[in-house]
């Protein structure tokens, strides 16, 4: 069965690469999705990062030892990617979003139009860049000129880079991880941005402490779940949105996004427009990677 699946997987990855690579090269985009469970019996994800191939397995009992390696080898052969540029990951149910897997510490620079981001393809489940939000970043950037920008759950600062390059008057990036804030600083410097405010804090604590401050544009992309404070985006998103809106000037804009697969929004009474159709890019249309909403205070 593994050999048959490997052949199917390789054929689909090759087909998708031929369809997408030229399109993205013309746009100056070096990171995109090649495969996301396109074939139901092959529960895997494959991503392209500037000539590197990242293949991840959604673990289950049906995939025995060596299954992921076989899938990755077949895809690499189909795309003529050398072995040292193939990266394997196993996604486990309930695994932490930013769980550390290794300590290689190697970063790769990837393009997103005129932006540049540093990714790490080995040390974490996620690479440091959520490519499914490239269009969201473009939309945030488009309305950032002159803005006071706030990035909550800032991670490695990709939205901050987009807002800064879009002409934001100031940027504030908030994350609980010193490691990711350092990464965000590196991304900002890579994009020629200096003087950005970086705040290490839990977002809930920051919202309390910053009660007297105001911003005009905010990105809010929380994890679906967090052990810290027992956060659950389905249960807690409305309170989090309301508290974030309190920090915005009148007519300020809040972008809210979630990758919760069964998310049901409770946004009644808000000046809100769902933007998912605009923000999910063509390489993620097989399985909508997120939902997004633009909310005006």
pLDDT on residue 98: 47
Closest by alpha carbon to 31, among 108, 99, 100? 108
Query: Is residue 157 within 8 Å of 151, Cβ to Cβ?
Result: yes
pLDDT on residue 230: 77
> CATH 3.30.750.80: which residues of the chain?
2-91
Q: Per-residue pLDDT tens for 187-213?
A: 999 999 999 999 999 999 999 999 999
pLDDT on residue 221: 97
pLDDT on residue 103: 55
Q: Per-residue pLDDT tens for 273-283?
A: 999 999 999 99
pLDDT on residue 229: 66
> CATH 3.40.50.150: which residues of the chain?
130-296
Count the alpha carbons within 13 Å of 68 in the hemisphere toward its beta carbon: 19
Closest by alpha carbon to 129, among 18, 19, 47, 224? 47
Tell me the backbone φ, ψ of residue 3, rounded to 5 degrees.
-65, -40
pLDDT on residue 96: 46
- For 2-91, which CATH class? alpha beta
Query: Is residue 201 within 8 Å of 209, Cβ to Cβ?
Result: yes
Out of 1.20.120.50, 3.40.50.150, 3.10.20.600, 1.20.120.400, the CATH code matching 130-296 is 3.40.50.150
Euclidean distance between CA atoms 41 and 44, whole angstroms: 9
Listed as ranges, residues in the chain with pLDDT below 50 are 94-98
């Amino acid at each position: 069965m593994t050999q048959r699946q490997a052949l199917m997987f390789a054929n689909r990855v090759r087909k998708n690469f031929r369809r997408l690579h030229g399109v993205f090269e013309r746009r100056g985009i070096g990171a995109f999705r090649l495969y996301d469970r396109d074939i139901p019996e092959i529960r895997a994800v494959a991503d392209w990062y500037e000539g590197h191939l990242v293949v991840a397995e959604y673990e289950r009992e049906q995939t025995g030892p060596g299954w992921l390696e076989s899938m990755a080898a077949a895809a690499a052969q189909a795309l003529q990617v050398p072995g040292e540029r193939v990266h394997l990951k196993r996604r486990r149910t309930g695994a932490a979003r930013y769980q550390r897997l290794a300590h290689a510490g190697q970063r790769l620079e990837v393009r997103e139009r005129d932006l540049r981001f540093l990714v790490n393809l080995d040390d974490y489940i996620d690479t440091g860049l959520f490519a499914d939000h490239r269009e969201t970043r473009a939309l945030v950037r488009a309305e950032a000129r002159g803005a006071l920008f706030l990035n909550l759950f800032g991670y490695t600062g990709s939205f901050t880079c987009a807002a800064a390059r879009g002409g934001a008057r100031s940027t504030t990036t908030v994350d609980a991880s010193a490691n990711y804030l350092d990464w965000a600083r590196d991304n900002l410097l890579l994009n020629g941005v200096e003087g950005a405010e970086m705040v290490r804090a839990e977002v809930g604590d920051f919202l309390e402490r910053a009660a007297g401050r105001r911003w005009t544009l905010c990105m809010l992309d929380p994890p679906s779940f967090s052990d810290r404070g027992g956060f659950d985006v389905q249960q807690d998103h409305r309170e989090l949105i309301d508290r974030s809106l309190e920090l915005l000037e009148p007519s300020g804009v809040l972008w809210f996004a979630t990758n919760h697969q069964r998310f049901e929004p409770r946004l009644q009474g808000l000046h809100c427009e769902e933007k998912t159709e605009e923000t999910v890019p063509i390489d993620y249309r097989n399985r909508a990677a997120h939902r997004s909403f633009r909310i005006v205070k």
